[in-house]
Structure formats: C-alpha cells, structure tokens
Chains A and B, each alone.
Chain A
Amino acid sequence: MDSKGDRTMRRALRKYVLLGLAMSTAVGMSLVGLGCSTIPARPVALEEARTAYAQAQQDPQVATNAPVALREAEEAVRRAEQTWEKDKNVREVQNLAAVAKRRVEVARAAAEKKMAEDELAHLSAERERVLLDARTREAERAQREADQAYQQVRSVTPGMR
C-alpha cells in the first residue's frame, strides 16, 4: 500500500518535471525567436563576398598579376563588413557585398588579361627568333650554293684558280 502510493507520487512528480522542462524549452525557443526578429541575420552575401575574396587572394596568379584590383576588392569587402558592424542595414550590406563580389571578379579578369599580355610578349620574342633562324639558314644555304657553283665553274674552266 505504501509502495503503491509512493509510485503514484513519483509518477506525478515526473509529469511535473517534464511539463516544466517542456515549458521552459518553449519559453527559451520563443526568446531565441524574439532575438532573431530584433537583430537581423548576417546576410549570406557578406560571407560569399569574403569567401570569394579569400579564394582570389590565395590564388597566386591573381595575387601576382592583379595586386591593385585585388586590393580594391579587399577594400570593398571591408566596407561591406564595416557597414554591417555599424548599422546592420541588410539592404545596404547586401548591395555592398554584391559590389565586393564583382570587384573580386574584376581582379580575376585583370589577372587573366595580364597573363595573356605576358604570353603575347613571350610569343612575339619567340616569333622573332624563329624568323631570324630561318633567315640565317637561308643565307647559309645561299652561301653554300654559291660556293658549289664556283667550284663547278672552276673545275670546268682550265686555267682558273
């Protein structure tokens, strides 16, 4: 009899504890929800801009061939982040982040242009070299043919030395 009452008590107690737990969880969740609605979430575009910049910066081709454009991209990312820290204006920061992402692309295009121009300079030198080689070989051939002709003429012309 005693143990039965004890068991009922314990069951009731457990019910209360669970109820309390559930309620506090619900309150906690709603507080978190409240927090989200007052402080806007960090725009995804901001993270994307930062990642795009970090990738370009780690790309040696971009870093060495377009340092100025890369610095401008870094400046744009910083401006977006500072604006976010300062006034949490989502619309403004999304715009600045989009601009920053484009700046990274500008840096990549600038690097691509520089590399193509370097290649052009290298190929121009290569072209000159091939042309010079061909001309030299042509001259040598002409010289050889002239020598042969001279020898021939000499061999059939008596008295010629």
Chain B
Amino acid sequence: MKQADKSKAPEYASLELYTAREQLAAAQQAMNRKDYAEARRLAERAMVNAQLAEAMGEAAQARQAATELQHSVEDLRREADQQALRSR
C-alpha cells in the first residue's frame, strides 16, 4: 500500500487504490475478531489491488509522456518545415 501510495497510483488509479485500502482495513478487522483465514484472504486481495493500482499508474504515466512527446515532435516538425520554406 505504501509503495502504491508513493507511485503515480493516487493520480491515475484512485479506484483500485481505494479498493485496496478498504480491503486492508477489512483484513485488520478480521484480525481483530480472530478470523485469520478471512484476514489472509482480504490481505491477498488488498495486495493485488495495490499492485494493480501501481501498474496502472505507471502505464498511464508512460502513456501521457508519450503523448506529450508526440505533440512536441509534431511542433518541431512544423517549425522545421516553415524554416525550410523561408530559406528557399
């Protein structure tokens, strides 16, 4: 959870992160009432949801960076074309 919190997950995968946090709290409650099997199950779910949130965050971040670079390259190419026209 801490790892996911530190990543880009809060920005890009808030639902998955929220689900993970809820499951972790539920696991803690199961621990308190000594239902250890249920606590383990909920902890497993919280873990995979936190990992999913992190993976989705990383994917979204990379995707956004690619989109921005794409625009930057398009702008550069346009500038270069205009420069070529001027110098003719």
Task: Give A residues with C-beta under 8 Å from B.
Answer: 69, 91-92, 95, 98-99, 102-103, 105-106, 109-110, 112-113, 116-117, 119-120, 123-124, 126-127, 130-131, 133-134, 137-138, 140-141
B55 touches A110 (CB 8 A): yes
CA distance A137 to B79 in the complex (A): 12
A102 touches B52 (CB 8 A): yes
B69 in complex: contacting residue of A106, A127, A138, CB < 8 Å: A127
Interface residues in B21-77 (C-beta closer than 8 Å to A): 37, 41, 44-45, 48-49, 51-52, 55-56, 58-59, 62-63, 65-66, 69-70, 72-73, 76-77
B48 touches A99 (CB 8 A): yes
Least distance between B82 CB and chain A CB atoms (Å): 10
Q: Please provide the 7 A-B residue pairs with the shortest distance between their CB atoms, ordered closest to farther.
A: A116-B62, A109-B55, A113-B59, A112-B59, A141-B87, A95-B41, A102-B48
CB-defined contacts of B69 to chain A, threshold 8 Å? 120, 123-124, 127
Q: A112-B63, A120-B62 are in contact. Are A130 and B44 (CB under 8 A)?
A: no
Task: Give B residues with C-beta under 8 Å from A.
Answer: 37, 41, 44-45, 48-49, 51-52, 55-56, 58-59, 62-63, 65-66, 69-70, 72-73, 76-77, 79-80, 83-84, 87
B44 in complex: contacting residue of A95, A117, A120, A138, CB < 8 Å: A95
CB-defined contacts of A134 to chain B, threshold 8 Å? 76, 79-80, 83
CA distance A44 to B49 in the complex (A): 20
CA distance A69 to B56 in the complex (A): 13
Least distance between A41 CB and chain B CB atoms (Å): 20
